[in-house]
Amino acid sequence: MSIMLDSANPEDARRARELGFVEDVTTNPTLIAKTGRPPLELLSELVEIVPGHVFYQLTAPSVEARYDQAWEAHEIRPDKVILKIPATTENIAMAARLEQHGIECAITAIASPAQAYLAAQAEAAYAIPYVNRLTRTYGDGLAVVRQIAAILQGTETEILAASLKSVEEVVGAILAGAQHVTLPLELILALGEHEFSRRAIADFDASMHSAKP
Ligand code: E4P
């Protein structure tokens, strides 16, 4: 079970690494565009920052071009790059080809249990449902995660829940059966905070200061 950082910003990656419990980073084309950096140059930097994997999304316009792009990204750091491949039937077939070569793939932007089922048939390492986007579009992204968890039981494909926007949604995704979550830095930091704990700490501090030496 792991918490990953959802960002392409090297500074975020450094801060997340310092927390000591975040090892992997997921990027996507939007997050990479925000940095204004060439994608592969950024990928080369991120794999040096984090101890775990860096997820990198394929964007080329045809399946064959995406297949070539996959090898190009993989060769940057074969032990650390995981390819994010958007969920379509032809892309999942491409992921099956890559997995046969031992290249780890994550099927991303998953919206349905059927897509997750195909991802498992392709022996993809991860299925990535977009929880909040699904809730906004269809009403209940967590229900989709629950169905996917039931379908993937007993397979090697693990659920990495993405598009999570609140602490409650993160907890909901884990309860629904996600083995992993990927979150922006602010949400990772928010997980350890609670008003109740803050009050308890303040009470203990007050007792310490009022205690007689
Ligand atoms: C996951 O890997 C994606 O980067 C991300 O979570 C997509 O969803 P969002 O744009 O709604 O956050």
Q: What's the one-letter identity of residue 210? A: S
Task: Give, for ligand 1, the residue of 56, 137, 158, 163 to mutate: max count of ligand atoms closer than 8 Å to Cβ.
Answer: 163
Interval 15-71: pLDDT, tens? 999 999 999 999 999 999 999 999 999 999 999 999 999 999 999 999 999 999 999
- Share above pLDDT 90 across residues of the chain, in percent, rounded to a whole number: 97
Q: Which residues line ligand 1 (CB under 6 A)?
A: 6, 26, 28, 128, 130, 132-133, 162-163, 182
Q: Identify the residue whose C-alpha is closest to ligand 1 atom 1.
A: 162
| Cβ atoms of residues 184 and 152 within 8 Å | no
Mean predicted confidence (pLDDT) in 3-11: 98
Task: Check: pTM over 0.85? Answer yes or no.
Answer: yes
Q: How far is the CA of 163 from the centre of ligand 1 (A)?
A: 4
- Is the pLDDT at 148 greater than 90, yes or no? yes
The sign of the dihedral angle between the CA atoms of 11, 25, 187, 198 is negative
- Is the pLDDT at 212 greater than 70, yes or no? no
Q: Burial-class residue 49 by CB neighbours within 10 Å (0-12, 13-18, 19+).
A: middle
Q: Strand, coil or helix: what is 107?
A: strand
User: With bands split at pLDDT 50, 70 and 90, how would you rate the model's confidence at 195?
Assistant: very high
Report the alpha-carbon angle 47-52-56, nearest 5: 55
Atom of ligand 1 nearest to the CA of 6: 4
Q: How far is the CA of 5 from the centre of ligand 1 (A)?
A: 11
Task: Give, for ligand 1, the residue of 130, 164, 169 to mutate: max count of ligand atoms closer than 8 Å to Cβ.
Answer: 130
Distance from the Cα of residue 186 to its chain's centroid: 15
Domains of the chain: 2-211 (3.20.20.70)
For residue 183, the 8-state DSSP code is E
Mean predicted confidence (pLDDT) in 135-152: 98
For residue 179, the 8-state DSSP code is S
| Cβ atoms of residues 111 and 143 within 8 Å | no
Q: What's the one-letter identity of residue 105? A: C
Q: How far is the CA of 57 from the centre of ligand 1 (A)?
A: 11
CA distance 88 to 66: 13
Q: How far is the CA of 31 from the centre of ligand 1 (A)?
A: 9
Q: Average pLDDT over the chain, rounded to whole? A: 97
Q: What's the one-letter identity of residue 11? A: E
| Cβ atoms of residues 99 and 79 within 8 Å | no
pLDDT score, position 211: 78
Mean predicted confidence (pLDDT) in 81-108: 98
- What residues are labeled active site? 84
Atom of ligand 1 nearest to the CA of 28: 4
| Cβ atoms of residues 128 and 152 within 8 Å | no
Q: Strand, coil or helix: what is 18?
A: helix
Beta strand spans in the chain (E): 2-6, 22-26, 54-57, 81-86, 105-110, 126-129, 158-161, 180-183
